[in-house]
Amino acid sequence: MAGKRTIIISLVVLVALAGLGVGGYHWHKAWQEEQFLTVPPEKPGRDLVFRVEPGQIFTTIAKNLKTAGLITDSRRFLKLAQASGKTSSIRAGEFMLNTGWIPGKVLHELTTSAGIMKKVAVREGLTWWQTADKIQEAGLGTREVFAKAVADPELLAKYGIQAKDAEGYLFPETYMLTPPRGDQSEYMVETMIKEFFKNAAKVWPDGLPEWKELNKYVVLASLVEKETGDTSERKRIAGVFHNRLKRRMLIQADPTIIYGLGPAFDGNIRKKHLLDKSNPYNTYTHAGLPPGPICSPGLDALMAAVFPEDHKFLYFVAKGDGSHYFSKTLSEHNNAVHKYQLRRNKKTYRSTKQ
């Protein structure tokens, strides 16, 4: 009997020890899980820029986070993301993370933040080469690659632009982009062209006109954009150009001459420039609209070109306060030129409103 009791006691002890072992294992696992979720990799933490490449799978992202010291366990991080349904919510880009964050905060930042973005503001009225300078200054590309992309026949054909380059179709906007790896000039050109057509749909909600008509309005809008920064005048100035074209009068717009002179223009229009017939953009010597847009017009200028103000004005002259004086006759215009231009105060004169 004593032997049997000893065996039974031994079995009970072994079962108890086994139970304690299993319980201890589970307790240890739970403790590790708790540590992973609540204790950051480092104290104090360090800021680190972490990059997620396009198309990168979550397991690779998790491994890279562990390698960078931003989490302590890639498998548990995957499990955390699966539990919250966020394994497909991380976008490509660069993110500012910290080694002092717990995994939940790291996951939240990766799945809700747009990440680090580069901003490039392209204002209305810039030529394509001025836009190229903006792209280079923002660190998104180079002037040379941008110039090549602007005149890329395949890209132009893709969007139905029947011209030698995309001048006029690089829509002015503030663009926010993920910091690039490599030159993003081609991407920027296509992005700006897409933005143009997106906005053009607001002007023609029932469908865009054929290329010839569309381009005519873009050319006209580019002239309106360069002639005034005052949005309240744009439809009136567009009306002046419409009236002159109907009467077969020369447009006679200084900005067209300047565009034809190109990047080398020194800021001064001389008499020889006004008489230069070799400049195809010289609207003092060539009838009708110039052969192409002279800048990238914004939505307001495009709307003005398509829906001009109906009036009898044929002339306008800058008053020196950012606005213009409009005239119906040449004699009235000459008087306005004498008053606002020939007798202007150079100290107070300004071409745009402030």
- Chunk the chain into consecutive blocks of 10 residues (it has 354) and report each block's average pLDDT, rounded to whole numbers: 58 51 61 82 91 90 94 92 88 90 93 87 96 93 96 97 97 87 90 97 96 97 93 95 96 94 86 90 95 97 97 93 92 92 63 46
Closest CA to 134 of 94, 188, 197, 193: 188
Q: Which helix (H) or strand (E) holds 94?
A: strand 93-98
Contacts of 232 (CB under 8 A, 6+ apart): none
Closest CA to 305 of 249, 228, 198, 247: 228
256 burial level (CB within 10 Å; 0-12, 13-18, 19+): buried
> DSSP for 174-212?
EEEEPPPSS--HHHHHHHHHHHHHHHHHHH-TT-PPPHH
Looking up tokens 């360090």 gives 46
pLDDT at site 204: 97
Q: Which helix (H) or strand (E) holds 168?
A: none
> DSSP for 276-329?
-TT-TT-TTTS-SS-SS-SS---HHHHHHHHS-------EEEE-SBS-EEEESS
For residue 233, the 8-state DSSP code is G
For residue 341, the 8-state DSSP code is I
Looking up tokens 């119906």 gives 328
Write down all domains in the chain, each with its CATH number in brackets.
47-112 (3.30.1490.480), 118-203 (no CATH), 211-311 (no CATH)
CB 313 within 8 A of CB 249: no
> CA 280, CA 283: separation in Å to the nearest integer?
8
CB 49 within 8 A of CB 115: no
> CA 190, CA 1: separation in Å to the nearest integer?
92
pLDDT at site 26: 63
pLDDT at site 353: 43
121 C-beta neighbours (distance < 10 Å), count: 11
> CA 336, CA 328: separation in Å to the nearest integer?
11
> CA 324, CA 231: separation in Å to the nearest integer?
12
pTM for the model:
0.78
Looking up tokens 């306060």 gives 321
**Cis-peptide into 44, omega within 30 deg:** yes
Q: Roughly how many angstroms between the first and final C-alpha of the chain, as a whole number?
A: 108
> CA 249, CA 211: separation in Å to the nearest integer?
24
Angle at 269 (CA atoms; ends 268, 272), nearest 5 degrees: 130
Type of residue found at 256 = T
CB 255 within 8 A of CB 297: no
Closest CA to 73 of 33, 113, 45, 100: 33
> CA 317, CA 320: separation in Å to the nearest integer?
9
**φ, ψ dihedrals at 193, nearest 5°:** -65, -45
CB 50 within 8 A of CB 94: yes
